């Protein structure tokens, strides 16, 4: 007889309560109990990164965390990554740079890419490769994924430069857009 524990958490903005086996990992809970199958189960040892998701703003491997450890936590899965500006930009950049092939690694790559961008990562491709090195991709050879992440960072850097070049834009509420844009 397996011991069950009651948990309450937020998943993609929805409050969830469940009674779960004490040894059930978080990614299996999300997939099997909530039907959120975007996060993938690959190696079940935390090495491939396919199960990466956000727990209280920190990217974790869902196969290495028990569902009971997430009690009271705020979980964001790949299904909701597009609801953030960074997630939406990165998903679009993945499409534009053909950074997804079979799609198995995509949830983990998006999670790691979002984490890199939101932590102030640079366009330095060596730094990007190092940051996503815990995620395996067998299809793209990483170059397209690195390009997609770098493109979002470059876009943010360009926007920051534009904002700095327009004195008083933030204070006055005026737009930095040029006529006709």
In order of their start, the domains of the chain are: 4-80 (3.10.20.30), 82-172 (1.10.150.120)
Read off the pLDDT of each residue in 55-75 and give the average, rounded to a whole number: 97
Alpha carbon 59 to its chain's center: 7
Q: What does the pLDDT average to over 13-17? A: 98
What is the mean predicted confidence (pLDDT) over 117-142? 92
Q: What phi, psi does 5 have (nearest 5°)?
A: -130, 140
What confidence score (pLDDT) does residue 156 get?
87
Instruction: Give the distance from CA 109 to its chain's centroid.
Output: 7
- Give the whole-angstrom CA distance, residue 173 versus residue 106: 37
**H/E element holding 145?**
helix 143-165
> Is residue 171 predicted with pLDDT exceeding 50?
no
User: Which residue bears the tokens 């990992």?
Assistant: 25
Dist. CA 89–CA 157, nearest whole Å: 14
The mean pLDDT value of the chain amounts to: 89
User: For residue 143, what pLDDT band results from cuts at 50, 70 and 90?
Assistant: very high
Q: What is each CA distance from 80 to 1, 43, 48, 177, in whole angstroms?
A: 35, 23, 21, 29
Percent over 90 (pLDDT), the chain: 75
**The pLDDT of residue 58 is above 50:** yes
- Across 74-81, average pLDDT: 96
Lowest mean pLDDT among 7-11, 26-30, 52-56, 139-143: 139-143
């Amino acid at each position: 007889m397996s011991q069950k524990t009651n948990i309450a958490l937020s998943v993609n903005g929805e409050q969830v309560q469940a009674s779960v086996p004490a040894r059930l990992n978080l990614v299996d809970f999300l997939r099997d109990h909530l039907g959120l199958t975007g996060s993938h189960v690959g190696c079940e040892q935390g090495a491939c990164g396919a199960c990466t998701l956000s727990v209280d703003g920190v990217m974790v491997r869902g196969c290495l965390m028990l569902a009971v450890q997430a009690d009271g936590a705020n979980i964001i899965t790949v299904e909701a990554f597009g609801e953030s500006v960074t997630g939406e930009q990165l998903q679009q950049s993945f499409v534009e740079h053909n950074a997804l092939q079979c799609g198995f690694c995509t949830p983990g790559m998006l999670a790691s890419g979002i984490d890199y961008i939101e932590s102030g990562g640079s366009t330095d491709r060596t730094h990007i490769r190092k940051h996503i090195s815990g995620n395996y991709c067998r299809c793209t050879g990483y170059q397209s994924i690195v390009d997609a992440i770098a493109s979002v960072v470059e876009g943010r850097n360009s926007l920051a430069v534009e904002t700095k070049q327009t004195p008083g834009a933030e204070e006055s509420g005026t737009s930095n857009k040029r006529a006709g844009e």
